[in-house]
Amino acid sequence: DLGRVIQRTWSTIASNAAVFFGAAVVFVGVPGVLLAFGQSQAISGGPAAEYSLLVTALGWILQFAGVCLVQGVVIRSAADGFNGRSTSAGQAISAGVSFVLPLLGLAIIVALGTLLGYILLIVPGLILSVLWVVAAPALVVEKRGVFESLQRSRDLTRGHRWSVFGLIVIYVLLAWIIAGFLGALGVAAGGSWTGQSSSLWGNILAGPAATVLTGVVASAGLAALYQELRSTKEGAGPEALAAVFD
């Protein structure tokens, strides 16, 4: 039920907004600003241009790791929330930290696999995106290994892949809308990546803000989709998802 997945996504975000967005700003937004600043200095030839490559690389690495950490935070909080329990900020961050390395490994494998698939005439990449869509929640909630989580996602999505594909399209379109809106705000501020004006910082902040918003929505959506698939295929109630953290 796509409507139920979307409703659970928003309700989970609303119930944990402070934790989700606080973690995302710190672990995704701040590295994103560093990344965007390094890129702007390389483009504009600003005072930090000679260090721009190092700053850009550091920002990208920290942001990539931060996205994985926030996934763990959101999935842990969502699993508790589905059982009507609250999660403290400390518990959520601790879960994110404990799962960051496995989620990093999973993200790298998924990124490489789907990239290769998109290079091979796009369709294989779309197929893998659908097959592996709930691997991250399977890893966190069921504490499976990376490759076990990929197989678990294949099993859970079997029989529902067209619906899952439709949901992915909805979230991708939403991400484009958010990114486009925030990018337009940056352009409205002056629209330049050069110089040291406020317009430069408007553009630098627009990208990380979009990444924060889309990252939270996507992670909450994955948790909601995972819960829906388990309920539909296995009859697993919310308590079964949250009990793993007891």
Give the tens place of pLDDT for each residue, 107-128: 999 999 989 888 877 788 888 8
Between CA 19 and CA 13 the distance in angstroms is 9
**Whole-model pTM?**
0.81
Give the sign of the dihedral formed by CA 196, CA 201, CA 204, CA 206: negative
Query: Packing angle between helix 161-188 and helix 2-15, nearest 10 degrees?
Result: 50
Give the tens place of pLDDT for each residue, 22-68: 999 999 989 988 888 887 777 766 666 677 788 888 989 999 999 99
Which of 3-7, 51-55, 105-109, 156-160 is least confident? 51-55
Which residues fall within 8 angstroms of residue 132, CB to CB, at 6 or more apart?
110, 113, 114, 150, 153, 154
